[in-house]
Amino acid sequence: MTIEDPSDNAAAEMDKQDRSKVLQQCLAKLPAAQREVIDLFYFQDEPIEAVARRTGVPLNTVKSRMFYARTRMAELLNEAGVDRAWL
């Protein structure tokens, strides 16, 4: 029988909140067009074709914005001292 330690749950919840806060801060630093495609694709689970329709830009433009957004996010997270495994 295992006895759960309530502090483990509290620590895990705090860690999750910290990650969310750092991610939101880094996302806020992206240009609006890049932030929009990241939000639609990753957070709202829109297929890439739907993102293109919603934003009114060609599919290849959406792909380019996502590429540059992911590259910039990696830089921002690195600057914030976040290891990719942490996410």
Q: How many domains does the chain have?
A: 1
- Listed range (4-13, 15-24, 50-59) with the worst mean pLDDT: 4-13
* Residues of the domain holding 47: 36-87
Domain membership of residue 15 (yes or no) is no
Q: What confidence score (pLDDT) does residue 16 get? A: 66
Domain membership of residue 24 (yes or no) is no
pLDDT confidence band for 81 (50 / 70 / 90): confident
Domain membership of residue 82 (yes or no) is yes
Domain membership of residue 5 (yes or no) is no
**Helices 59-79, 48-55: inter-axial angle, 10-degree rounding:** 100
Percent of the chain exceeding pLDDT 90 equals: 63
* Rounded Cα–Cα distance for residues 34 and 80 (Å): 19
Q: Are 84 and 77 in contact (CB under 8 A)?
A: yes
Residues 21-33 have a mean pLDDT of 94
- In 3D space, the residue among 83, 67, 70 whose CA is nearest the CA of residue 22 turns out to be 83
